[in-house]
Structure 1
């Protein structure tokens, strides 16, 4: 199968490219290598993919995509987005990268890949709001620009599916971590600061936050399972995460134990838009995708620490 993965030089998408390639598919990635975080880190990820024979296009989803779609695809996995909850990111940036870019990609798919088997939209548990502890039937209540615009992008995709123009599904992810996690995310930042004895910014109340911390390897296994099941998942919204729940404090203590060091804490005010609790309800994923997350938090964090040391030392 010919498969396109957007945001391919990023965290989850780079792992997905490798997984799909290992399964014998012809994989192509597209990324704009923007500077939301280190383009050098993205270049490292892209180099790992290219070394495996995966083609990477440098292109912006808001631009001309005809070169990316020089040949039609069987599947498109759409992971590119303006991520995270940041006071430094404007609403316009979220709209451009999460809504307009999604629509431009959809237009390209309809133009150049009319026989697409499935468009797999990657969404987020942030659409549920402050408490993401429900199944897919519960109405979304996002509280952040990120959640609002990701929900809008999801509906652009499913709107085309509902009118019969596109086979598609949307997958809502929960607190993914592991090797290549973005530098500003919890565990990469935590590992870096512990190794270098630097203060870690801890937002008020966050130690008590509960999360379905899900290892990236389990996530990409679930995403790859869509291939061959596209008729079964067409039109569906599916939660993908782990039903194991840990507090942020438990995660911090696990990394401290792995590294044998104690964190220096920089206490900061609570951050607007942070989810208080996530607990993935994955019955649907288990039923439709035969999805079973297998990696414990300790196992996943050991792999992430090993990756960090290999790439950055310490």
Structure 2
């Protein structure tokens, strides 16, 4: 048997191969999945949700263009013009309002899909309109629409928050995640690379990219090649796609890994939201626990803290270095954790809601299912703090108090709480 002259080197090569194998496996599976969904599945095989997101929209005309121009007009001396995708979403609506109120020009884009009841998105839209933000109804996969918007307004920045959200829904409709989080992101970057001047782009990644990591708190330097869900895999793919467009085309790109965002106008599919609804209706709520009765905890981050992080990332984003699709020099590429740094057991979340709602919850303790959920999340935010002074200030009890007040006011005004 041939034995290497240097056993140490042989061992080192074997170790490197073992470390590389999981990455190769992950990217091979993801690549095959993307090819399958984009090329081998017929349109009829996508679920109704995916088909609805592909519908065409009516836009154009003098009145429409005037609304676009007016909304994107900068009002302050040092303001910037920002295209916000997913503007009718939870984070998107809050960020849009904050940008507009400080004097930036803001134009929203949203397809108002029905992943959850669109009436809540329409409510956010009405709120935005009162603030002076116009939302164009359209899809990020519509290249012609994106090009038209950039023809009308030379946006300096893009805040890309549009995405197919939710970990568990990916098991029902995986195609929608590839369509929105991968194909949609690529389509946006293709348009941005070609315009002149290129905008700086801040976009929403996710804390879910940390997947099966057991080291806490999660740091941007940790490995992110072990996703526990398709949603996480598409967000990880987005980070690699961002690197590619930065490297080839000089696009300035900043990714933000959000940690369990909550607050007023939130998403009905999030636990704190449907817990509130079911507690008030006297329905049992599922409390998950890990193996051996392990605690499930989340780094709940209040929406106002997330908004400050988004604005800080946007304000420190450097200009892209490409021109007409050609790179002229190195461009900024960053990724930040935006969390609260204080993980709270889900049981404690329910206890706080019971206190605020003055109703005892019917807890149904269940084993954490194998549907992509992880046992805990915990953010290391030192990088964001260093770069733009990110510092969350809202504890969970205060944040939930604000949410419950909004929830009771919103649904007592005749709105349905059956999302």
With structure 2 as the length reference, what TM-score do the two structures score? 0.71
Mapped to 2, the partners of 1:31 and 1:298 lie a distance apart of 31
Q: Is the 8 A contact 1:212 1:242 kept in 2?
A: yes
Using the TM superposition, name which of 154-163 and 6-15 deviates more: 154-163
Contact 1:76 1:120 in 2 (8 A): yes
* SS in structure 2 of the partner of residue 312 of structure 1: helix
Superposed, which structure 2 residues align to 1:1-314 within 5 Å?
Answer: 1-63=80-142, 64-65=144-145, 66-69=147-150, 70-87=152-169, 88-112=171-195, 114-131=196-213, 133-140=217-224, 141-205=226-290, 208-231=295-318, 234-272=332-370, 273-313=372-412
Cα distance in 2 for partners of 1:207, 1:255 equals 22
Q: Secondary structure at the match of 2:392?
A: coil
Q: Is the 8 A contact 1:212 1:279 kept in 2?
A: yes
> Which has the larger Rg?
2
RMSD: 2.0
Deviations 1:31-75 (A, max 9, x none): 100010011111001110011110101001112323333322111
- Which deviates the most, 62-71 or 143-152? 62-71
Task: Give the C-alpha shift of residue 92 in structure 1.
Answer: 1.8
Aligned residues: 313
Inter-partner Cα distance in structure 2 for 1:76 and 1:207: 41
**Aligned partners of 1:214, 1:110: CA distance in 2, in Å?**
32
Of Structure 1 and Structure 2, the greater helix share is in: 2
Kindly indicate whether structure 1 or structure 2 has the higher relative contact order, using CA contacts under 8 Å at least 6 residues apart.
1
Task: Tell me how far apart the structure 2 counterparts of residues 248 and 148 of structure 1 sit (CA, whole Å).
Answer: 24
When structure 1 is superposed on structure 2, of 11-20 and 127-136 the one drifting more is 127-136
Q: TM-score, normalised by structure 1?
A: 0.94
Distance in 2 (alpha carbons) for counterparts of 1:174 and 1:29: 23
SS in 2 for 1:76: strand
Deviation at 1:160, TM superposition (A): 1.1
